[in-house]
Amino acid sequence: MNKLIYLSALTSILLGAVNLNALEVGDKVSAFEALDDHGKSWKSESFRGKKLILVYFYPAAMTGGCTKQACAFRDDQAKWKERNVEVVGISGDQPEGLALFKRAEGLNFTLLADPEGKVAKAFGVPAGKGGSIDRFVKGEKFTLNRGVTTKRWTFLVSKDGKILYKNDKVQAAQDSASVLNFLNQKNTP
């Protein structure tokens, strides 16, 4: 019985430690870089001092909740531009899978590939095993591969690189509206 209690306590401690490095509101975000949906290098430093960056992590391209989330950001893109916010979606998918997702859903913002989970780790976003899924687009079958599967978390980063907003309990379809509501309430520059 004591061994069971000990193992349970140890498991709780270890699982709790997973998020010890998670960024919180007010923390400075280190510069990060990843390949975009065109296979080109995208650097957060390009936006420092110029724009807010909305970074949302999602588990997998072309899946139910992730598609609803991406389409909400797509549909609100004019509002994001009006607020001078660069929207960036990040998953463990490969760039070619992201390009397909972007094309299939008419997405109008950048998607970044994080197949090794390096960017997720820098933000403290939990990531598990990757995988692959088959999807049909206009009758053609595609296999999308991802190196890791991240949790669905959203961050808003200030022009000077600090976390203004964090949500680690994201409701996929409401994510865009939730962050816009935060911006409207805070009147964030």
Q: Which residue has the tokens 């949500």?
A: 167
- List 66, 156, 163, 164, catalytic entry: 66
- pLDDT, one tens digit per residue, over 123-158 is 999 999 999 999 998 888 999 999 999 999 999 999
Architecture of domain 30-186: 3-Layer(aba) Sandwich (3.40)
Quick one: which of 94, 66, 30, 70 has its CA closest to 152? 66
Q: How is residue 149 written in tokens?
A: 């599967």
Does 11 have pLDDT greater than 90?
no
What's the pLDDT at 21?
Answer: 78
Q: Which helix (H) or strand (E) holds 133?
A: strand 127-137
Does 1 have pLDDT greater than 60?
no
Does 86 have pLDDT greater than 90?
yes
Q: What angle do CA 58, 62, 63 make, to 5 degrees?
A: 70
The β-bridge partners of 142 are: 135
What's the pLDDT at 18?
Answer: 46
User: Is 71 a catalytic site residue?
Assistant: no
Distance of alpha carbon 156 from the chain centroid: 11
Q: How is residue 47 written in tokens?
A: 């936006």
Distance from first CA to last CA of the chain, Å, rounded? 56
Local confidence band at 14 (pLDDT 50, 70, 90 cut-offs): very low
| pTM given for the model | 0.86
> Higher model confidence: residue 96 or residue 16?
96
Does 47 have pLDDT greater than 50?
yes
